[in-house]
Amino acid sequence: MSNATSHAAEGPGCAPIAFLPPRPDVLARRDEIMAALTELVSAGGVVRAPLALKPFETDAFVAYRQPPLAVVLPQTTAEVSAVLAYCHSARVPVVARGAGTSLSGGAIPQADAVVLGLSRMNRILEIDLENRTARVEAGVTNLSISEKVAAQGFFYAPDPSSQLACTIGGNIAMNSGGAHCLKYGVTTNNLLGVTLVLIDGTVVTLGGKHLDAGGYDLLGLVCGAEGQLGVVTEAVVRLIARPEGARPVLFGFDSSEEAGACVADIIAAGIIPVAIEFMDRPAIAICEAFAKAGYPLDVAALLIVEVEGAEAEMAAMLAEIVTIARRHGVRTVRESQSATEAALIWKGRKSAFGATGRIADYICMDGTVPLSQLPYVLKRTGEICAGFGLEVANVFHAGDGNMHPLILFNANDPAEAAKAEAAGNEILKLCVEAGGCLTGEHGVGLEKRDLMRFQYSEAELAQQMAVRAAFDPLWLLNPSKVFPLEGRPA
């Protein structure tokens, strides 16, 4: 595969991240493969008409598109196992798909691949409050777990912005984070076990309701592996008692630098709020337009700092935070006055990406940098985008350095689309140079695959690929993603 030639993505205006060239022998067997799959899943479980395959050609990384060979929608682990065993024996690539909300193209198919959609496996199998666990199928949405146990005072902590729609299977594939991981960690810290189907159809269980992993931490390895090691069909996740109260507070600043310095000081003071979110002026305007959350529109930078606990606890912590913010010249401080208001504040923040669609197309970066580098990287990000003649909106998790510059462009203008992508690449390189990484929570996917060499040496990539091959020696699982096409093992 090392001398793979590039197969350009479909559609005008798409910048050239290449898919693996489709295997002609697989394309030629399309009908045969369809017929076999139809036997393996329950009625309505195979999408075959070319027109009907089109909606599966992309996810939320919509700049790249490629309809798959077929889509199969199994309903049980046994069906998933049968489908994978067949694809393994027939040497057909498989791309697992949850809700298709990936911002890095993790669920984008390739022409010779079967998309294995987990959306019909959406049952919550067991809620065990005494052991504080939930056992769910992979297609269950992130938020529905929290909703299911809300009345009993529990929640599932990782909260990616797409939590309304994204599935737990997808969260595991990308090791999704969220706004509140400053306190509660990301998916891998809240995942206790999975049922994993290997490419040959073997079903293995990793972990369970107990905390220790037996043998190697394969659970930790599978989490974040972007569907390349196997297909997760069930998960056991940890539930946490919901704090008595939670209060987001809005802090408006006249400059991003002041806001950034305030964040650093809060952390340095030993205060760990559950979340510290940052928005710059364009992002504030975008989010306010959708959520009407009462964000101040006259400030250059906004922090949403959330504290939680009992009333007196929150008050004490907030007092300290306000003191620090005042030192940094905070202009407006506004506490949410009710649960409804708090919900609106978060709704605005969590809808930031989608709401951007009101004014422009965008690509969303996801680099993470050490906190001390935030102000510098923020400034350079603005300069890089300006250099390309593009606007950028910044909205991100400041407490953990996970940045999300939204580069605005017009997708119907191919030249501008290419510029946006180039600017994005520059920003990600900047993040790595600043001591950070390419992606904090969205995953490498297709989007950042060809940038992996900025972060890793050849030997490091080779090592990761060797581990990958221990699970999937034939490279059938989501093979166009994560690892640069050149330099792959033969």
- Which 318-347 residues touch another protein, going by CB under 8 A? none
**CA 191 – CA 211 distance, rounded (Å):** 9
**CA 11 – CA 117 distance, rounded (Å):** 24
Contact 427, 365 (CB under 8 A): yes
Candidate residues 194, 274, 317, 390; the one interacting with another protein per rule CB under 8 A: 317
224 binds another protein (CB under 8 A): yes
Candidate residues 30, 132, 281, 380; the one interacting with another protein per rule CB under 8 A: 132
42 binds another protein (CB under 8 A): no
Closest separation between CB of residue 201 and another protein, Å? 10
Judged by DSSP in three states, 339 sits in helix
Query: Binding string to another protein for residues 243 to 282, with x set by CB under 8 A, is what?
Result: xx-------------------x--xx-xxx----------
Strand partners, 96: 116
Contact 91, 47 (CB under 8 A): no
Closest separation between CB of residue 405 and another protein, Å? 15
Site for another protein in 2-21 (CB under 8 A): 11-13
Q: Among candidates 229, 235, 227, 185, which has minimal Cα distance to 209?
A: 235
233 binds another protein (CB under 8 A): no
Beta-strand relationship, 231-238 and 191-197: antiparallel
Closest separation between CB of residue 360 and another protein, Å? 10
Cα dihedral across residues 443, 448, 453, 458: positive or negative = positive
Contact 266, 276 (CB under 8 A): yes
Strand partners, 252: 302, 332
Sequence-ordered list of residues with C-beta below 8 angstroms from that of 324, at least 6 positions apart, any chain: 262, 265, 266, 269, 271
Determine the interface stretch with another protein among 77-85, 127-135, 251-259, 418-426 (rule: CB under 8 A): 127-135
Determine the interface stretch with another protein among 20-28, 323-331, 377-385, 459-467 (rule: CB under 8 A): 459-467
**CA 438 – CA 430 distance, rounded (Å):** 9
125 binds another protein (CB under 8 A): no
Task: Please give the size of the binding site for another protein, defined by CB under 8 A.
Answer: 140
The owner of tokens 């680099």 is 367
Contact 250, 302 (CB under 8 A): yes
Edge-first strand order for the sheet with 94-97 is: 46-47, 70-72, 114-117, 94-97
CA distances from 408 to 48, 316, 354, 421 (A): 35, 40, 12, 10
Judged by CB, which is closer to another protein: 384, or 444? 444
489 binds another protein (CB under 8 A): no
143 binds another protein (CB under 8 A): yes
Determine the interface stretch with another protein among 86-94, 176-184, 274-282, 377-385 (rule: CB under 8 A): 176-184
122 binds another protein (CB under 8 A): yes
Residue 240 burial (CB < 10 Å; 0-12/13-18/19+)? middle
371 binds another protein (CB under 8 A): yes
Candidate residues 241, 297, 339, 415; the one interacting with another protein per rule CB under 8 A: 241
Site for another protein in 416-455 (CB under 8 A): 417, 435-444, 448, 452, 455
401 binds another protein (CB under 8 A): yes
Candidate residues 181, 250, 262, 477; the one interacting with another protein per rule CB under 8 A: 181
**CA 401 – CA 425 distance, rounded (Å):** 18
Judged by CB, which is closer to another protein: 35, or 241? 241
Candidate residues 52, 125, 415, 474; the one interacting with another protein per rule CB under 8 A: 52
Closest separation between CB of residue 25 and another protein, Å? 27
349 binds another protein (CB under 8 A): no
Residue 212, amino acid = D
43 binds another protein (CB under 8 A): no
Closest separation between CB of residue 47 and another protein, Å? 7
Closest separation between CB of residue 180 and another protein, Å? 12
Closest separation between CB of residue 114 and another protein, Å? 15
Cα dihedral across residues 155, 156, 158, 161: positive or negative = negative
Site for another protein in 77-106 (CB under 8 A): 99-101
